[in-house]
Structure formats: structure tokens, C-alpha cells
Structure 1
Amino acid sequence: MLIAVRNKKKKDEVEILEVRTGKIIVKYILVLAQDGERFVPKKFRKIEDEKEITLMPKESLKLLRSDTIYISKDHFVEDILNLFINMLKSYGAKFDFISLCKFCLIDNRINTKGTPYTYRSEPICEICAKSEITKDLTYKGIKDTKLAEKLLKRYSDVDRVLMVFDPKFDPTKDSSITMYDRIDSSPLDIKIYKISDLDIFDEFKDRFASRGINELTPVQSIAIDKGLFKGNNFLVMSETASGKTLIGELSFFSRYKKGDKLLYLSPLVSLSLQKYEDFRDNYPNNSVSLRVGLSRIAENPKDINRSLDSDIIIGTYEGIDQIFRSGGSINGISTIVIDEIHMLQDKERGPLLDSLISRLYVLYPNAQFIGLSATVGNPKELSDILKMELVSYDKRPVPLERHVIFCTGHGGKLYTISRLIRKENSEISSKGHRGQVIVFSNSRKNCHSLAEHFKTRGINAAAYHSGLPFKDRREIETKFWKGKLDAVVTTAALAAGVDFPASAVTFETLSMGIEPLKIFEFQQMIGRAGRPTFHDKGKAYLLIDPQEKYGEVSEEEHCFYLLDNKSEKVDIQYDRDISLERTLSIISTFSNLSVGDIKNNFEMGFAPTFDTEFIDFLRKEGLIEIKSDKVNITKFGRIVSSNFLNIPHALFMKKFNGEDVREIIFQTLPFPNTYLTSKLQAILKIDSSSLFSGTTLEKIYFQNRKQALSKHGEEVLINLLTEFFACGCKDAPYCNCPKIEIGKRLLELRKAKLSPNRISEEFRKEYGLKIFSADLINWLDSAIRTLETAEKIFGLYGKDKQRRATIKEIEYIVGR
């Protein structure tokens, strides 16, 4: 193949390139002289294997006639091109045109697939375009080129693509540049029902109308068609804000009669509180109650109705389950709604929820079960296991744009988020609503610092999380719904409970605490963007710092993992301890069971095959008793099951004879989350921020003894090692001793009446360690519940000394 290109530095020179398999084998230099309307050969040279040979000009004619000459038009100006073409015609040479990439030529390559892209106003092939992008992004510390390649296909302009990754780029000027993809809203061809046409009492039709609900959404209409009013059990799977909750309400009120009860289960205290308020507001003629676990450390909501005789009973999974495990009952339940049922995939809570659902089916065989779920990876399998008919609608109520924005450092993120909030606030939807934003961060503390930062920029923002007093949360919710707030800053932990009409969500981080977001958490969070009655579309902005890491994974890598992967499958793994707890929960809920009864209930849901060894073990350890072939719970078993106590931990408490009852906390409840501050990471030259990750422990305990540190770095390291790593165990630093020592220090500070925030600050100052106050509050609450359970066990077995010590320790932790 022969290709003709013009040497731009020399007007009268043309290069004829002999190409084989994309490589230039021989280069011919043809010096031309103008003869009227054409060129004629003046000089002719051949370059092969870096050797140049001078040839007679007439020999060029043989070359030109030997094969078709492909002319790269991009390398010629028009007048020179015409003279060259006329020469070829006069010599009877065949020619055609081709588009070549000059960047390939620089590397002595030829790409004949065309140059569909531009770079610096020059045509460029796909290979070179991607190569130039990769070089630029690598220089900026960006490894993943997925977004760049998507943008390249969209814009065909390398310069425009690279502009996205420029620190000075303003994404609010042209949001189409940062858009990773768009999830469209395209309703199915289904019948949409009006509220006035439904077969429910007029009183409830009026209630719905007063809330502005005059017709059903698509997923609600599908449920009606599939037999919602006939009492069928449903697994309702659809996007956030598609109206799943109303399906449960319709089910209950469609056949409501005096004495009927609606049981509404949710995973979070905050979500349960919100539903409690919503149901009280929406159904003032019906009694509503709430059953959740209350904190002994944080402030709790006041004036809560906890009666089990209410028409509508709302509670967390554990709050309701504790009633049954304690031997209690709730009469008259006709409808059971299980919100966020995809929580079955949670490693810790999934088995507990699976067990609860299985027992509810036995307790209330005539009730209608409605499971509400975000999208999961195995919907049909899940619905079959749960014995529910699948009602699936995967279309969003409004389109959703997903954007990726690269930022430099935390300051760059804050600057960009501020601009995005202002942009949203300046836009009015066709429904007449101003844009508002939910900003997701990774801790309660960050929620407040971000909200304060935005306020200094003239943005009306508020921190919103479950640690706020109930009254404050309600005030923030009301302000947002009335459009009096530009933005709220919240955490991923509250994503399921955030019910704000936001036009956009932004991610200041892709973690919760220090853990990277899971796919189902991410899906819930982006689902908060855009409401059909408020907005024309929703927007999700993921802000990425190429230097940020979550353990060994970069923020950039995790971003594209979340964007490119669909929902995970729900699957629950049972080990022996979980199976023992499930068996005990069945026996504590019911009485006078046969082994066959227990087996039948155990094997419902996701559980494995029942093993009678579970019964033998529980009986041996005094958790159950068998009389006349009937199995019942013992007092010890009741304490263990009703407090959701891990059975090995329960046996440890039963056998405990020590004097320091704090040991129960240290052995059964090690403090889970301790991190290095970014300052300490820099001093010790450690990438991972988790104190107990293998990498961190190795570098702190071994490598840093050999590394040259600053004097300050040595002092910090010595303080850390002597305070928490001085046990001398042969397994150090991988033993549990450092976690126990941290727990001891936390309780010492609490005993000195320091608040969780003050304790967090002390750890930061003294040791360069980061402890989130929310994690600490949860741990202290768990410690209190653990000690309260231990106190009951000590009382049961006559261990008065340990019982009195436990009561005293609880008072210290509570802060009396």
C-alpha cells in the first residue's frame, strides 16, 4: 500500500510511504517542480532501514504506476493538492483519498481506519486519541478512563474530554460534559387507576385526596391488577419515590374493619419515626403507635405512643421481634408491611429479618404480607422464597442523569458542591418548584461541618441525621418541603429514611464512615433525586478525588464500580451460631413445640436444613427444656433470645466469675471502628486509614521501627504503641489486646463524664486517632444493653457481686 503525504515544512516535497501491516517499511521523498498546471519529479530519494539512497527522478514514475496512491488530503493545501493530482493523472497513476492520523505518523505507524476525532484542531484516530487521554489522566493521577472514553465517543474531541479533568473546569457551565449516563423514564402501557374508582371506604378516599393523591402510580396500578384487594402477598420492587408505601396502606384500608391492625416494619429508628409521624398526620381518626429500641445516650423523641392496641403499629425489625421473643403477642394483625426488605442481604441483620418473617407467617397465617424492596439481582428467586407474588416496575418516575465530576482535594469538592447547589436553586421546574439538593457525607460530624461551610457561602443548608433531636429533624423536614432550605447534608446511613423532594443529590464521599458504599445503598441514595410531582428530572453528582482511597481501592475505581454494576443478589449465609440463634428464636416465640414444628419453621425462608443437634446443644446449655416431647424456652433462654444475644457470648456471661465486669464488654463487644487521622497517616507514611487493617498494623508495629521518622512522628508512634500495643502477646499486634485497651480508655473517659464528642476529641489530640461520635454512641448503647443482659443472667444464677458491679458500671456509661 502506497500513501502520499506532504512535508509541511517543505512546500515542494511529497513523501510516498510504503506500508505493510500498519508499519511504514520504506519512505520515498519526491522533490517536485511546478510545470504549468502540474508537478514533475525533480529529485527522488529512498529511505529504508535508516539508510538514504538517491535515485533517478524518472524511477519515481515506476513507483507511482505500481499501485494505487492513497492521498492524505489533510496533509495538503488545496493548490498543492491539485498540482500533485494533475501530475498523477498525466502519468496514468491510479489514486484515491484517505484520512490519516498525524499522531500515528509521528510514531512511524499508519492507521487506515480513519480519524473520527480531533485533538488540537487536528484529526486523530481512536488509538491515538485514547493514548493522549491516558497520558494526560495518568499525569493527573487518574487511573480509570471509562468516563473519558464515554465522553470521547459522545463529543469526538479530545480537548473537550480533557477539559472535564481540568481542576479549573466549571461543571455548572455545561452539565452535558460530565453526564455519565441517563436513566430514562418510560412508563409501561398499563391502566392507571383513579382513587375515586377504587373499592375502598369513602373515608379513606377523602384522606388520600387531602394528600393530593387522586390517581395511582404505575406500580400501584400493577398491584391492583394482580390482586392487591384480594389479599394476595406481594413483593413490590420499584425505584424510590414510585409509591411503594401506599400499596401497603391500600391493602389495609381496602378491607379495614374495627379491630384490624396494620403492622409496619422498617430497618431504621429514624425511618420508623418518620412513618409514625406520617401515619399520625394522614390518619388522625386511627390510633398509631411506635415500637423501637431507644438510646440510653442520645436524646429520644418525647410523647411516643407505644401501645400494642393501636390500629397501626410501626416499629423496627428488632423492636417488633423483641415483643415476640419475650413471649408477647399482638392481636388482630390483618396486614404486615415489611419496608426495605432487601435488607435481607445485610450480613448481620439479614438472618434476623429472615427469621422474623418466617415466624410472622406462622403467627399470622391469614394476614396479607407486603414486602417493599429496592431493585435486587434475583427478584424472582427472592419472591419465591418469601412466598410473595412479584410486582416489579423498574422505570423511574422521572429521568435521572448521573454525573461524574473530578475534583482536586476536599476543598475542590466543597467549591464544586457549592456551585451545584446554587445552580439547582436557580432552576425552576415546569411544575413550578425550585431545585433543592441532598448532600451525602460519611459521618454526622461532617454533616455539620459541611452545612456550616455552605452557610458561609450564602447557602441555606442544614445538617440532618438520626443524632439530632426529633423536634429539630421535623423542623428541617418541614423547611425543606416548603422550599425554605437550599440543601440538607445527611449520611448514607439515613438514605432510606430521607424523604425530601430534592431535584439533585451530590456525593461528597462514596463511603459511610470508612466503609465504601454498597451498591444497594448507592441505589437508594441516587433514588432520592427527582420527584414526579416536583421535578422534570433528577440529577446525581458523584465528586471524585483521584488521590482519595478507601483502603486499597481508589475513590475513582469505586465510583465506576457503583455506576457500572447492577444490584446484588439477596443471599443469606447461615453458620452454626446463626442457626442456633434462629432455633432459639422459634422456641422463644412459640410454646409447647414438637421438634417437627421447630424443623418446619426453621426451614422456611433462606435457612439451611435443620439439624436436631441444635436442639441437643441448646438443651445441654440450659437454654431450652423438653418435657413430654414438648420443647419450651427456659428463663435463661428467654433472656438470651429477647436481647438478641449471641449464644457463645451468653455462655461466657453465664460462666463469668470475674470482678471487672467491663471484661464482658471487651470480650463480647470490641470497639469496631478506629481510624488514623489524615495527619497521623502522613506522619507515619501509611495509606490505609483503618487502625486495625493488616497493612496499618504491619507498618506501625514492624516497618516503622526501621523507617526514619521525624521527632514528632516518633513521639506519636511511641505514644500509640505504649498505650494500646504493649501487651507482649506472641500474636501481637494481631491479637485483641489493642481493641480491649481502646475500649478501656473509652470507658475511663466516659466514667470521667466526658460526652461522646469530647471523647472523640481526646482521642484525636492524644493519639492521632479518629473515632466517630456516632459510632461511639452506638457502641455505648450496645455496651449498656450488653451489661443489662449480663445483670439479668447474674441475677438468675445468684451472682450478686457481679450483678451489683454491673449496675454500677451501667450508671457510669449512662453518665449519671
Structure 2
Amino acid sequence: MSQQVSAVDTLFLHERSDDYTVVVTRDNERLLQAILELKETNAGPRPARFRVSEGSGEDLRRPEEFVDIARRATRIRISEQTSRNGRDQIRSMLDGYQLGAKVVRTCRYCASAGRYSPLTSETDIRADGEHICLDCAKRELERELNYRSLQSGARERLEDLLVEIGDLDRIVNLLKGRLDPELTKFDEISSTVDAVDPVPTDALDLNPKLASLITEQFEQLLPVQSLAVRNGVLSGRDQLVVSATATGKTLIGELAGIDRVLSGEGKMLFLVPLVALANQKHEQFDEAYGSLVDVTIRVGASRIRDGGAGFNPGADVIVGTYEGIDHALRTGKDLGDIGTVVIDEVHTLGETERGHRLDGLISRLKHYCEQDKGDTQWVYLSATVGNPKQLAGALDATLIEFEERPVPIERHVTFTDGHDKSDIENKLVRRAFDTKSSKDYRGQTIIFTNSRRRCHSISRSLEYDSAPYHAGLDYKRRKTVERKFADQELAAVVTTAALAAGVDFPASQVIFDSLAMGIEWLSVQEFSQMLGRAGRPDFHDEGTVYLLVEPDGTYHNSMGMTEDEVAFKLLKGEMESVVTPYDESAAVEETLANIVVAGRGAKRLNDRMIGDVPTKHALGKLIQYDFIDGATATPLGRVICRHFLAPKAAFVMLEGIRAGDDPYDIVGDIELLESEI
């Protein structure tokens, strides 16, 4: 006999088809697994065959050995899954040896696999109409996750939900896109209002014309506005204002800038990253302050006619994109006497593609202002900065930081494949629009996706009225969408990054159809900025955010992570520090632009930029590329600078022109280069 069993805690029996699984345990460790066959005798059921598992085979034992084990067992248990006839047969057999047994709730999966796993109401998991143990439920969930290729972040989340909810079927249904709010809810960002004594608007030291306008609209300032005023924003002090979306940051820049315009201290520049946002700000400023000041817009070398509004460099207020104002500097345009510069979305400094251009723009614009009177006020605005003190120090500005969330935001995660997304989005949009807040305002939705084509596809699939909204639409169409959304004629807008930077749509719900913009995953900053569009205190009681996550999903083969991994990285992520990165191409581009604008003063411009610019290396490359001659840009360098061309793209273009290539082929080569970069 190869196995001997001495002391026994538990003898467990579980019915199979015509026999019984036997499990013997001591101190929760399995000592023996066997198959017991019974036979009918004149004295009742008795052991007939006792086959003990040995590795991959079986060892036939004497039936009396089973009886000996049963007599030494502290307790004998029968699985609840054993049939009534089976229970009666076992009990009758045990009665013949003056032994008793109890029926226990146990995991069927474990019992069938030769494991004794009793269940309690605290440990069982519902699954397919029965109860199983947590370990087996996790194994079943693991199989489902492997089938759907879900990565670590999603696995941890779903296992936590399994323990919390105790229902495997509901978790699996979540993987199929079911909108079970108890399961999809990831967390809630509570509303917070810091205790700040509000500043009455009639106490503001403003130009009388502006003071009259402001006091007619507001009795007192919002908290972040009050903090900025108390810290000298109306006295010309430079400030970095960091506060959540919809807390009133923009008015801080407006008050400082318009007041200085009316007091004869120079014009105001209000700079934003995107054309759509510039158009909206231009219209808002013109409507709000057009009776007091002239407002114009500058959105770029090729787009200054947007909306039919020609650029007027003599206007009191210039609303512009970063690119538009930088182009004016690079081409030597006279912007006049600048009294105030407001830079919205200043966290753009931390972006890989655009950060160095904003960094360079700030340095070049400061140089321009210094050539004039040199007392320009700078106000920087952002909702998302991970290192506000460090950034304020780098910008030489007073930090105004106010952590307020006007309304709570619920964040939800559900899993779905690409085919089911449209159906889920339709349900969510319909549910929101059919619900009114306590302010009697319908719920409206912003859906973020990763391409313009997808914007149109989603919008067409929605049951309720909706519209795509992106930079590819003309000015008139964008304005129509904005108006219809404001008038609650649209249940949803479907957009790319155009809205993330703050175009003012009062939505109650944000849906992430994708966690990518183009072929890049969202950063924590971008994600926070976008979800912050959900919920406005004047309209909604709360905001709702849904992430529709495609397991194992990617949008380009260069993406190192899958969408389910990215989802939990974003949800759990801390705000990243705003640090401007510089590779060789960025350093060459900004150094060239600084030489075009400042000549021999370019090094000073480089030195005061936020990022660490390798100036000597960049100068060497500029000489090598024949972009500069001494401290002067060559004609080639000026053209490269004027058109914001990266050096590699410039050389691809030059080589194509010199070789007589078709223009479309040259453009294709440049796009291919950019995709490789």
C-alpha cells in the first residue's frame, strides 16, 4: 500500500454519475483523493471498490480501508450537490458502521476536481444559477479575461468587483458591455468648495467703464477669482492660475487685460492652443466687451480669414492661437504695445509635439514686449498641472492654486468591442437627454473619439439629434453646432481633441469612445481636462464620465500598451509634471526661430525657456544645415522658420523639389516621416 492515512480531519463525499468522489483532508491539506463504488447487500449499501488516485493512475485498495478512514475521521461531510438518493445511499452505508454525516454547501467545481471547499454566505460566489468558491470563480473569470485578452489593470479591477459583488455572471456581462451601474462605477470625485471669502465686485479697483459692466453681471467674484485679485492680478502682478474646469479662471485674465486696455497700458493678447477655441473666445470677448474695446483674431498664417474676421493688429484685444501669434513674431509683424498676455492651457508646455513651440513662443513674446516698454503683465491659466510651484517659479509668476470641483463626477468603466460601442453610446446619450437636473436642464453628452471620420460615424449612429465637431469643419458649421448645443437642440456632440482644451459646451456627461487621440494614448493631463467637461454647476447636479474600453485594443502598431491597461493607468494616475521636453529637432527649430526674432540675443531667449535647450548643439546643427550664417538666418532658414518645419521634414521637401518629384509624393513622404517619428 503506497499511501497510509492516519489522523483525519474531514472525509468528504461527492456524487458522480454512478459512484462517489472521496476527499480526505487534515489541517486543510488534501491527504487522499479516491473513487468509491457501493454495492447493495442484505445489510444495505456497502463499499465495493475503493480506487485511490496515484499520480496519473489509480491504486485499487481494499474496501475495508475506506471504512477504517471513515472511523478515524473527525467529521464526515456530503456535498449539497449530491442527489437525494445519493445522500440516502451514503447515510445508509455509514449507518451500518454507526457513523453519521452532514450535508454541506460546497463548491461543485472543487468537489468534481477532488477538493473539499465548504461555502458560507460570506465566501460563496453566484455563478450560473449555483454557488461556487472564490478561487474557482477567479479561475472562471481568468479564462474569460484570457479569451478577451484583458491586461493587468482590468484584471485587478474585475477581481476586486468579483469579491465585492459576489456574482460571476454580472462580471462576465460587464465584459459584454452591459451597463450595470453598480459594476461600471469606478469612483466618484466629490464636489469640493474651499472656504474663500468672496470679493464684492463693487469693491474692485477697475476702470469705471469695466467696473460698471462687471457689477451689472455679478455681485461677487468666485473663489479662485477672489484669490487672484487679493494676490495682485489687478495691480499688474504675473500669475499662474491653476484651478479645475468651470471655476472661472478666464475672467481673471479678462479683468486684468481689459482694465489695462481701458487705462491706456497697452493691448491684451489672449492665447489658446486651438482654432476652435480661439473662434469661441473671440466671439465671447466681442459680445462681452465689444462696446468697450476692439477685438480681433489671429489664428495662423493660413487661417486668419476664419469666420470672415480679418486680423487687425491695431485692435485693443487680440485673441489668437499660439501658432498665429508665433507666426506674426517669426515674420516680423508689429503687434503694437502689449500690456497683458493671457496664455490659456499653459500645461501644453508639457506636450511632446507642441510643448517646445509654446515654450519658444513665450520667450519670443517676452523679448518682443521688452523691446517696447517692458512692463507687460503675464497671466497663465490651466486646470491640470502636476508641479504648479515649480512651473510658477520657472515662469516667474505668483501661484494661485484653487482645488475646487463645483459638482461631483462619477467615473464609470465598461468593456466592449468595437461593434457594440455605438449601441452603448446610444443608450447613454438617450438616458442622459431623457433626464432633467434640479435646474430643469437636460443632460447632454460630449463623446470623445480618435478621428474625424469616427466623429461622423458615431453621430450618424445615434438615435437622438447629435453633430460631429472637429477642426475640419468650417467656421459657420462649428458655430451652428455650438449654438444648437447651447439651446439644447442636440443631445450630443462627437469630437476629437478640439473640445478638450476648453470650448464651452455645458455637458453633463462625457463618453470616451477611445482613449487615444490620433495614434497616441491620452496623457493624464489630457484625460483630466476632457473628463472635467462633465457637469456644470449652473446646469447640472452631477457629472458622469464613461470609459468604453476595448480589451486588448490599440489604434496603431506603435502603441506599447493596450486600451484596458491605459484606462486604469489614467483613472489611477497622478497629474504629470509640466516639463518641456527637447529632442534635437525641437532644439533646432526653437533656436532657429529665436535667431530669426532676436538675432544675437537668441541665446538669452534660449536660456530663459522652461525646457533645457542644448543651445550649442542646436547652433552646430543650424550651421551644418545651412539654416544660419553667423547670428543671422539664411533665406532658407527664414523659410523653414516661417512655415514651422522640423529640420527632417524640411530636408525631405528640399530633396523632393530638387529631384523634381510630384508635390503629392513630397507631401506623402513628409507624412510618412512624421508617422515614423
* TM-score normalised according to structure 2 size: 0.80
Superposed CA deviations along residues 96-143 of structure 1, whole A, max 9, x for unmatched, are 999854433333335689715333454433322221122234445655
Q: Structure 2 vs 1, CA of residues 527 and 5 (structure 1 numbering), >3 Å: closer, same or farther?
A: same
Q: Specify which of 231, 243, 258 is matched with residue 264 of structure 2.
A: 258
Structure 1 residue 578, shift from structure 2 partner: 3.4
CA contact (8 A) 2:300 2:325 kept: no
Q: Distance in 2 between matches of 1:2 and 1:56?
A: 16
CA contact (8 A) 1:235 1:383 kept: yes
Quote the residue 1:400 is aligned against: 409
* Larger deviation, residues 127-136 vs 376-385: 376-385
For residue 268 of structure 2, what is the amino acid of its counterpart? L
Quote the residue 1:274 is aligned against: 280
Quote the residue 1:133 is aligned against: 141
Structure 1 residue 281, shift from structure 2 partner: 0.9
For residue 509 of structure 1, what is the amino acid of its counterpart? S
Q: Specify which of 425, 428, 432 is matched with residue 424 of structure 1.
A: 432
Across the aligned residues of Structure 1 and Structure 2, the Cα RMSD in angstroms comes to 4.5
Q: Distance in 2 between matches of 1:649 and 1:18?
A: 72
Report matched runs for 1:600-639 at 5 Å: 600-608=604-612, 611=615, 631=631, 637-639=637-639
Quote the residue 2:161 is aligned against: 151
Superposed CA deviations along residues 516-560 of structure 1, whole A, max 9, x for unmatched, are 444433333222211111111111222234475423454444434
Report matched runs for 1:587-602 at 5 Å: 587-590=595-598, 593=600, 597-602=601-606
Structure 1 residue 266, shift from structure 2 partner: 1.1
CA contact (8 A) 1:129 1:158 kept: yes
Superposed CA deviations along residues 36-91 of structure 1, whole A, max 9, x for unmatched, are xxxx99879976544444338985686246xxx5979978999x99x99xx99xx9
For residue 247 of structure 1, what is the amino acid of its counterpart? I
Quote the residue 2:642 is aligned against: 642
Superposed CA deviations along residues 697-726 of structure 1, whole A, max 9, x for unmatched, are xxxxxxxxxxxxxxxxxxxxxxxxxxxxxx
CA contact (8 A) 1:44 1:56 kept: no
Q: Specify which of 463, 470, 480 is matched with residue 465 of structure 1.
A: 470
CA contact (8 A) 1:447 1:463 kept: yes
CA contact (8 A) 1:217 1:243 kept: yes
Q: Distance in 2 between matches of 1:444 and 1:72?
A: 63
- Is 1:107–2:113 an aligned residue pair? yes
CA contact (8 A) 1:439 1:505 kept: yes
Q: Distance in 1 between matches of 2:314 and 2:246?
A: 30
Report matched runs for 1:710-725 at 5 Å: none
Structure 1 residue 389, shift from structure 2 partner: 3.4
Q: Distance in 1 between matches of 2:342 and 2:321?
A: 12
Structure 1 residue 501, shift from structure 2 partner: 0.7
For residue 243 of structure 2, what is the amino acid of its counterpart? S
Quote the residue 1:525 is aligned against: 530
Structure 1 residue 243, shift from structure 2 partner: 2.3
Q: Structure 2 vs 1, CA of residues 44 and 204 (structure 1 numbering), >3 Å: closer, same or farther?
A: farther
Structure 1 residue 251, shift from structure 2 partner: 3.0
Q: Distance in 2 between matches of 1:612 and 1:64?
A: 84
CA contact (8 A) 1:164 1:177 kept: yes
Quote the residue 2:579 is aligned against: 571
CA contact (8 A) 1:219 1:243 kept: yes
CA contact (8 A) 2:296 2:309 kept: yes
For residue 392 of structure 1, what is the amino acid of its counterpart? E
Quote the residue 2:671 is aligned against: 672
CA contact (8 A) 1:151 1:161 kept: yes
Superposed CA deviations along residues 608-643 of structure 1, whole A, max 9, x for unmatched, are 3665575577578775566xxxx5556665444333
CA contact (8 A) 2:241 2:400 kept: yes
Q: Specify which of 371, 384, 393 is matched with residue 375 of structure 1.
A: 384
Q: Structure 2 vs 1, CA of residues 9 and 538 (structure 1 numbering), >3 Å: closer, same or farther?
A: same
For residue 670 of structure 1, what is the amino acid of its counterpart? D
Q: Structure 2 vs 1, CA of residues 15 and 106 (structure 1 numbering), >3 Å: closer, same or farther?
A: closer
Quote the residue 2:175 is aligned against: 165
Superposed CA deviations along residues 728-777 of structure 1, whole A, max 9, x for unmatched, are xxxxxxxxxxxxxxxxxxxxxxxxxxxxxxxxxxxxxxxxxxxxxxxxxx
- Is 1:325–2:330 an aligned residue pair? yes
* Larger deviation, residues 242-251 vs 275-284: 242-251
CA contact (8 A) 1:43 1:56 kept: no
* Larger deviation, residues 645-654 vs 260-269: 645-654
Q: Distance in 1 between matches of 2:614 and 2:131?
A: 69
Structure 1 residue 354, shift from structure 2 partner: 0.9
Structure 1 residue 159, shift from structure 2 partner: 1.9
CA contact (8 A) 2:656 2:666 kept: no
For residue 504 of structure 2, what is the amino acid of its counterpart? D
What secondary structure, in the 3-state scheme, does the structure 1 residue paired with 2:111 have?
helix
For residue 466 of structure 1, what is the amino acid of its counterpart? A
Structure 1 residue 218, shift from structure 2 partner: 4.0
- Is 1:283–2:289 an aligned residue pair? yes
For residue 599 of structure 1, what is the amino acid of its counterpart? K
For residue 596 of structure 2, what is the amino acid of its counterpart? S
CA contact (8 A) 2:22 2:114 kept: no
Gaps of 5+ in 1: 32-39, 675-689, 695-816
Q: Structure 2 vs 1, CA of residues 482 and 27 (structure 1 numbering), >3 Å: closer, same or farther?
A: same
Structure 1 residue 147, shift from structure 2 partner: 4.2
Gaps of 5+ in 2: 1-7, 39-43
Quote the residue 1:684 is aligned against: none
Q: Distance in 2 between matches of 1:253 and 1:489?
A: 34
CA contact (8 A) 1:30 1:41 kept: no
Q: Structure 2 vs 1, CA of residues 71 and 141 (structure 1 numbering), >3 Å: closer, same or farther?
A: same
Q: Distance in 1 between matches of 2:515 and 2:653?
A: 39
Q: Structure 2 vs 1, CA of residues 346 and 616 (structure 1 numbering), >3 Å: closer, same or farther?
A: closer
CA contact (8 A) 2:11 2:25 kept: no
Q: Distance in 1 between matches of 2:169 and 2:439?
A: 37
Q: Structure 2 vs 1, CA of residues 409 and 620 (structure 1 numbering), >3 Å: closer, same or farther?
A: closer
Q: Distance in 1 between matches of 2:640 and 2:546?
A: 45
Quote the residue 1:679 is aligned against: none
For residue 612 of structure 2, what is the amino acid of its counterpart? P
For residue 63 of structure 1, what is the amino acid of its counterpart? R
For residue 299 of structure 2, what is the amino acid of its counterpart? V
Report matched runs for 1:648-797 at 5 Å: 658=658, 660=660, 662=662, 670-672=669-671
Q: Which fold has the larger relative contact order, with Cα–Cα distance below 8 Å and residues 6 or more apart in sequence?
A: 2
What secondary structure, in the 3-state scheme, does the structure 2 residue paired with 1:641 have?
helix
CA contact (8 A) 1:117 1:157 kept: yes
What secondary structure, in the 3-state scheme, does the structure 2 residue paired with 1:439 have?
strand
CA contact (8 A) 1:344 1:350 kept: yes
Q: Distance in 1 between matches of 2:225 and 2:445?
A: 27
What secondary structure, in the 3-state scheme, does the structure 2 residue paired with 1:275 have?
helix
Q: Structure 2 vs 1, CA of residues 98 and 7 (structure 1 numbering), >3 Å: closer, same or farther?
A: closer
Structure 1 residue 357, shift from structure 2 partner: 1.3
Q: Distance in 2 between matches of 1:407 and 1:616?
A: 52
Q: Structure 2 vs 1, CA of residues 604 and 693 (structure 1 numbering), >3 Å: closer, same or farther?
A: closer
CA contact (8 A) 1:443 1:512 kept: yes
Structure 1 residue 221, shift from structure 2 partner: 3.8
- Is 1:483–2:483 an aligned residue pair? no
What secondary structure, in the 3-state scheme, does the structure 1 residue paired with 2:669 have?
coil
Q: Distance in 1 between matches of 2:48 and 2:200?
A: 85
Quote the residue 1:346 is aligned against: 351
Report matched runs for 1:8-47 at 5 Å: 17-19=24-26, 22-25=29-32
- Is 1:508–2:513 an aligned residue pair? yes
CA contact (8 A) 2:10 2:73 kept: no
Q: Structure 2 vs 1, CA of residues 110 and 614 (structure 1 numbering), >3 Å: closer, same or farther?
A: same
Superposed CA deviations along residues 418-464 of structure 1, whole A, max 9, x for unmatched, are 2211111111111211111122233333333433333xx3x111222
Q: Distance in 1 between matches of 2:50 and 2:652?
A: 89
CA contact (8 A) 2:329 2:365 kept: no
- Is 1:447–2:455 an aligned residue pair? yes
CA contact (8 A) 1:18 1:27 kept: no
Q: Distance in 2 between matches of 1:470 and 1:13?
A: 77
For residue 174 of structure 2, what is the amino acid of its counterpart? V
Q: Distance in 2 between matches of 1:533 and 1:407?
A: 33
CA contact (8 A) 1:274 1:497 kept: no
